[in-house]
Amino acid sequence: MAEKKIIYRKFQRFPVIKIKIAEHPAYLNFNINGPFSAFDNFGNLLYEIQEPETSWRIKISSFEAPKFTYFVNFYSGKDAKKTDDVEKILKEKGVDVYRDVKGGTILLNDSEIINNTYFLLRSGEFESAKEAENLINLNIEGISPELVKEKIRESKCVFEIFESSLGDSAKCLNSLRIIPHYSSTKISIKNILVDSGYDWSVQIDRTFTTPVFFSADTMGRLIAVAEMGLEDYLRGVVPMEMRSDAPLESLKAQAVVSRSFVLSRLGVAHSHEGFDFCSDPHCQMWGGSDFYSQESDRAVKETEGQVLFSGTKLCDTFFTPVCGGFTRNGSINEFNAYTAKSFAELDGERKTKQGFKLNSEKKIFDWVSISPDVYCKHGNQQSPVVRHGHEKDSFRWQVNIDRKDIEKRMIDFYSIDIGTIYDIIPVKRFKSGHISQLEIIGSRKNIIVNGEQNIRKLFTKSGLYSSCFYIEANIGHNSLPLSFTIYGAGEGDGAGMCQSGAVFLGSEGKNHREILKHYFGTDTMRKLY
């Protein structure tokens, strides 16, 4: 008997998605240039404004945190056979896991367009993260355990909305919805911190023309969520992810990649958080209508509804700002290849690829130390990666970090007193050279750090550009490291399409299909709507 399909979302005409567009620990300010209504959680009218004030503020007056239960995820993927294989390996290692299902089938005009059913292998429930510590630190080849938490009791939050004069206000419980009376009315949320925690973080305004929903996240932060059509969403994504003066064919490749990414991840990325995607690098950068450009709009329009397939499967199209010369597949672990291209590739001419592997520390040292003639080197020189006006050359980079700063960071942010650090050793790397597991040798204990993102965030508040690096210890007179110098290649996780490489290929006359073929091994596109 065939397994019953789970219908996750139904669309008519075109997909509509929910985007978290802003967050703040206490309040958000917004402007609106037309009449609107404000409703509370129960649909009761709070305000009906015909002549809106210049500015409004929404703040959290009180917050009662939700209650969580904790799990350890060992695997997530769409392939039932791979799920069986990983489950067998885990059980042979004595790990008790069970299978869960996430996402489901996406329908458009009552026809299935994508099956985004994901299988998970998890262990738990635990009452605290501490209880799951032993499972998180398990060292099993090809598997990176991940701690996740889910709500078992909702939060309670009281909001207050003010006019710009701050004289008149109204309160509501748990959520607030602002609905403009006309589709052309613009709402602008002010002073949103973008790329929070990074050296290049800036404040921007995000402007849009759809209703907006305010609520509190699990940490008690105020968030704003807007619902919009996928093509309108992409108009705000493409110019943020790839600078608008890039070649048109490069922008078209980015549009197809961004659209495919959304549809392949719908129901997975933030499914328990009240929205589908965030507007930060975790998902895709989104700037709103203030960042629209003629060329990026054209790229979205000329590829409308087009997504990338490999055979019968939609590609989960990851992308990275600067691969550093060697891309990798988008899998979280060796058993979980999301993309059509499940192998590492040198981002250069075919004739230079034969037999090339970054499978030893000596090769990593040689690779990072040189400036190889690869696509992203030229692409980054022609059109440097830009984050809101901040250009940076991240093809090759280095940073020096004091040993005591790392020890302090371990205590302050991870509550781990490792003692004096003797050494930092890469344990596992992807075929592209990106580190997936790192061991820190300390006088009190040794710890294993799993996951590319965790490794990048380990050393500094803003994080390293990438995990493709080698480390040199700078030894003092007492034979202990005084500091560590990290020499790195590229920016981002190195997965999927290298955006700098795509810019170079577009400048060399390659069309968007050829660019996609280079990075994903397929140029099969389907127009879904």
Strands 16-24 and 446-450: unpaired
Predicted local confidence at residue 382, as pLDDT:
55
- Encode pLDDT of 337-356 as tens digits: 333 333 445 665 544 444 46
Two structure tokens written together for 210: 């759809």
Is 142 or 307 the better-scoring residue by pLDDT?
307
Question: Given a cut of 60, is residue 500 above it in pLDDT?
Answer: yes
- Encode pLDDT of 295-320 as tens digits: 999 999 999 999 999 888 888 899 99
- Closest by CA to 260, choosing from 345, 343, 330, is 330
**Pure H helices in 201-283:** 230-241, 248-265
As to burial, measured by CB atoms within 10 angstroms (0-12 exposed, 13-18 middle, 19+ buried), residue 273 is: middle
Instruction: Determine the Cα–Cα distance for residues 378 and 382; give it in Å rounded to an integer.
Output: 6
Instruction: Determine the Cα–Cα distance for residues 295 and 303; give it in Å rounded to an integer.
Output: 13
Are 523 and 257 within 8 A, CB to CB? no
Are 446 and 440 within 8 A, CB to CB? yes
H or E segment and range at residue 81: helix 80-92
For domain 67-153, say whether CATH 3.30.70 is its number.
yes
What confidence tier does 175 reach under pLDDT thresholds 50, 70, 90? very high
Is 358 or 242 the better-scoring residue by pLDDT?
242
Predicted local confidence at residue 50, as pLDDT:
86
Residue partners of 280: CB distance under 8 A and separation at least 6: 194, 195, 196
Question: Given a cut of 50, is residue 331 above it in pLDDT?
Answer: no
* CA distances from residue 343 to 152, 330, 338 in whole angstroms, order as listed: 39, 9, 11
Supply φ then ψ for residue 379, to 5 degrees: -65, -40
Supply φ then ψ for residue 309, to 5 degrees: -120, 155
Phi-psi region of 165 (alpha: psi -120 to 50; beta: other; left: phi over 0): alpha
Where are the domains positioned within the chain? 26-64+159-220, 67-153, 396-489
Q: Residue 322 pairs with which residues in a beta bridge? A: 491
Instruction: Determine the Cα–Cα distance for residues 114 and 307; give it in Å rounded to an integer.
Output: 11
* CA distances from residue 297 to 128, 242, 245, 301, 510 in whole angstroms, order as listed: 47, 12, 12, 6, 20
User: What's the angle, vertex CA 391, arms to CA 506 and CA 346, rounded to 5?
Assistant: 45
Q: What percentage of residues in the chain have a pLDDT greater than 70? A: 88
- Closest by CA to 393, choosing from 527, 513, 500, 240, is 500
